[in-house]
Chain A
Amino acid sequence: MSSLLARRLLQLIPTVVILSLIIFSLQHLLPGDPALVLAGENPDEATLAAVRAQYHLDQPIFVQYIFWVKGVMTGDLGESMRHNRPVLDLILLKLPVTLQLAIMGIVVALILGVLGGVISALRQNSAVDYATNVVSLAGISVPNFWLGIMLILFFSVHLGWLPASGFVSPSEDLKMNLSTTIMPAFVLGTAIAGVIMRHTRSAMLQALESDYVRTARAKGLSEWVVVFKHAMRNALTPIITLGALEFGALLSGAVLTEQIFTIPGFGKLIVDAVFTRDYSVVQGVVLVTSLFYIILNLLADIGYILVNPRLRS
């Protein structure tokens, strides 16, 4: 197992290097001279040269890359031109919000998806199965922004139960925090729940038809043990990978949902940064979400090894 893990960690190195190259070149693919932006209005040649020297823009591109990597390693992701603050500060400010939404979203998705998938597999071709399928298809097909707006209309405007938008930090007021995040988390979760449900259903059906489940029944085990111990253990292994990937998608893909519910998270940060051409922020956010993706993938692989004894030895 340790050698497998070591191999898996080694594989990270080229991935991270390629990723850093892509993100670094992002800045250079954009039109315009960054020195012109940084030096303020109508700069003279001397100021421009000073700015170029300060940010190593006069150096060859490879050297610039090395400086950038060094900066990233020490937590220096550059300055936001719009906020006049280090990018890292902004990210650390917004990350917990998005992380909370993503965790709540994936929990909603896993509960609905796994539960729905198992139930419809156990009741294959019954009315319950068809109903779950229709609902999951709806979850996949209905656009997030539409569902978000409908939820706001119903729960905030019509019933007045939940605030329509905004965000309260959990350290400030936990109850308000939950009431501001429950709707966006539900919107995020339902979109993924459908996918997880379909996968769980087919994996469970396959497991329930397997020889080892027949053996478990021939041992006189209760249906509960047969389903939840013998079938589910094997059916859920692919769901681990799927869940990790979807969680990564939630971290970067909550843009629309955060926009609708005006949640000050990552999505909103990146959209605002794109609109105001705050490139170092865009770069920083892309870097952090990509790293999250890579780490989640690694965790999924480790989880996969842990639940699958065939990979362990």
Chain B
Amino acid sequence: MSTSQNILHAPSARSVRADDAVPSVLDVSNLRVVFEGDTRTVTAVDGVSFSVKKGRTLAIVGESGSGKSVTSLALMRLLPEHTARVSGNVNFDGRQLLTEPTSTMRSLRGNRLAMIFQEPMTSLNPSYTVGEQIKEVILRHRQMSKKEAAERTIAMLRLVRIPSPETRYHQYPHNLSGGMRQRVMIAMALACDPELLIADEPTTALDVTIQAQVLELMRELQQKTGTAIVLITHDLGVVAESCDDVIVMYAGQVVEQCSVEELFTFPQHPYTVGLLGSLPRLDEKRERLAAITGTVPDMANPPAGCRFQARCPFRINKCAEMPALMEVSQSHFSRCWRAPMEDLVP
């Protein structure tokens, strides 16, 4: 097989996963999000399907504009209703999230479905104390007195390892560093023990050392609580470190779906290969990082056929037709006419 497998010392790729029996928390099928503007209509998410298993982490990977953030906001029903048309099926614990009444969604959000965002600097309200903002979500979803909620807030701050939580409780977001604020966001999201946590680029805005701490914290809390996580990122290093399964998105579509080990050892879509090729590595001598040439297509007028073809070094005539997401090996899917290919290595 490939040389990269040896380097990563990954367990045998393409092995049947033993935990396929783990029940899934979230099942998304054929999710479509269309933004209707005055002059143009953009299909930001085009038929995306995936499921997230209990206690596991699914990474959604892709570059800016691939539709990964829109996907997460669509699941939470947080997209502006007058411009975004969302269709498909989102099954969360037997409920169809896209058709539930707004009141039901509100009682799920922050409670059983939680979300943290990319910008800890702006995601907290500057006018309220950190404690007030965490307490608010507890009081909203739990039958607790204000005192109990305040105690739970302090316990949550302690859980995310914020030093002297009693003092921090009364401080405002501007008194805290970026890493601290993201910990506060995590405490807020986990305050009601959600079954599913959606983390949209939770570490992108942080310093590298802080990134590692925050990821480590999330992983540790997941082990304690059994929360399933959807981690949206463009950083393959984050994927390798903290995820179980991965979907790669390109131009609103899933182009590859597999386990994390498979992604690094046996990538089956040229776009994934390109992403891996643009990762800096210390274990190989390279003249320069291989960037993917070209840019993401205009989603108001996506090209016919494979959406990656204009940037693809493996292009063939057949790419003028849109390939389906095909199973190339057990639990490994690729949207490429040429998959499976043994030599598709970065």
Number of interface residues of B (CB under 8 A): 30
A211 touches B119 (CB 8 A): yes
CB distance A219 to B126 under 8 Å?
no
Contacts of A221 in B (CB 8 A): 106, 110, 136-137, 140
Give CA–CA (A212, B129) in the complex, Å.
Answer: 13
Q: In the complex, what distance in Å separates the CA atom of A182 from the CA atom of B261? A: 76
Q: Is the CB of A233 within 8 A of B127?
A: yes
Task: Report chain A residues within 8 Å CB of B174.
Answer: 309-310, 313
Are B117 and A211 closer than 8 Å at their CB atoms?
Answer: yes
Q: CA A69 – CA B105 in complex, angstroms?
A: 67
B259 to chain A, nearest CB (A): 29
B122 adjacent to A210 (CB under 8 Å): yes
Bound: A280/B185 CA distance, A: 63
Q: Which of B109, B114, B125, B141 contacts A212 (CB 8 A)?
A: B125
Residue-wise interface mask of A (225-248) relative to B, using a CB-CB cutoff of 8 A (1 in contact, 0 not): 000001001100000000000000
Interface residue? B188 (CB, 8 A): yes
- A196-226 CB mask vs B (1 if < 8 Å, else 0) is 0000000000000011101111111110000
User: A218: which B residues are within 8 A, CB to CB?
Assistant: 76, 78, 109-110, 114-115, 117
A4 within 8 A of B: no
Contact between A215 and B109 (Cβ–Cβ < 8 Å)? no
Kindly state whether residue B180 has any CB partner on chain A within 8 Å: no
Indicate whether A307 reaches chain B with its CB closer than 8 angstroms.
Answer: yes
Q: Evaluate contact between A219 and B109: CB separation under 8 angstroms.
A: yes
B210 within 8 A of A: no
Residue of B nearest to A307 (CB): B127
Judge whether A212 and B122 touch: CB under 8 Å.
yes
Could you tell me if A309 and B125 are in contact, using CB atoms closer than 8 angstroms? no
**B117 and A214 contact, CB distance less than 8 A:** yes
Please indicate the chain B residues that have their CB under 8 angstroms from the CB of A234 in the complex.
Answer: 125-127
Closest to A219 in B: B110
Q: Quick check: B175 and A313 within 8 Å, CB to CB?
A: yes
Per the bound structure, the CA–CA distance linking A313 and B129 in Å amounts to 13
A308 interfacial by beta-carbon distance below 8 Å: yes
In the complex, A230→B141 CA distance in Å? Answer: 18
Task: List chain B residues, Cβ under 8 A from A222.
Answer: 106
Interface residues of A in 294-313 (CB under 8 A from B): 307-310, 313
B124 x A215 contact (CB < 8 A): yes
Q: What is the chain A residue whose CB lies nearest that of B76?
A: A218
B107 contacts A by Cβ under 8 Å: yes
B308–chain A nearest beta-carbon distance, Å: 31
Chain B residues whose C-beta falls within 8 Å of the C-beta of A310 in the assembled complex: 126, 172, 174
B:96-124 near A, CB below 8 Å: 105-111, 114-115, 117, 119, 122-124
Chain B residues within an 8 Å CB radius of A307: 127
* Complex CA–CA separation, A234 to B140 (angstroms): 21
* Chain A residue, CB-CB nearest to B112: A220
Question: B172 to A219, Cβ gap below 8 A?
Answer: no
A220/B110 contact (C-beta < 8 A), A214-B117, A313-B172 known: yes
Instruction: Mark contacts of A269-313 with chain B using CB atoms, 8 A cut-off: 1 yes-contact digit, 0 otherwise.
Output: 000000000000000000000000000000000000001111001
**Would A219 and B125 be within 8 Å (CB), given that A214-B78, A309-B174 are in contact?**
no
Closest to A126 in B: B82
Measured CA separation A216–B128 after assembly (Å)? 12
Closest B residue to A237 using CB positions: B127
Chain B hits for A230, CB < 8 A: 125
Closest B residue to A313 using CB positions: B175
Residues of A close to B117: CB separation below 8 A: 211, 214-215, 218
For B120, give the chain A residue with the smallest CB separation: A211
CB distance B127 to A309 under 8 Å?
yes
Residues on A with C-beta less than 8 A from B105 are 220
Q: Assess whether A214 is in contact with B140, with CB atoms less than 8 Å apart.
A: no
Q: How far is the CA of A212 from the CA of B116 in the complex (A)?
A: 11
How far does the alpha carbon of A58 sit from the alpha carbon of B108 in the complex, in Å?
84
How close is A229's CB to chain B, nearest CB, in angstroms? Answer: 8
Which residue of the partner chain A has the closest CB to B185? A215
**Assembled-state Cα–Cα distance A212/B128 (Å):** 11
A288→B6 CA distance, assembly (Å): 85
Q: Which of B119, B129, B141 contacts A220 (CB 8 A)?
A: B141
Residues of B within 8 A of A (CB): 76, 78, 105-111, 114-115, 117, 119, 122-129, 136-137, 140-141, 172, 174-175, 185, 188
Q: List 9 A-B contacts (CB under 8 A).
A: A216-B125, A218-B109, A219-B110, A220-B141, A233-B125, A234-B126, A234-B127, A309-B129, A313-B175
Rank and list the top 7 A-B pairs by shortest CB-CB distance, nearest first. A219-B110, A220-B110, A220-B109, A211-B122, A212-B125, A309-B172, A219-B137
List 20 additional contacts besides A212-B124, A220-B110, A220-B141; criterion CB under 8 Å. A212-B126, A214-B78, A215-B123, A216-B125, A218-B78, A218-B114, A218-B115, A218-B117, A219-B110, A219-B188, A220-B106, A220-B107, A220-B111, A220-B137, A221-B106, A221-B140, A222-B106, A309-B126, A309-B174, A313-B174
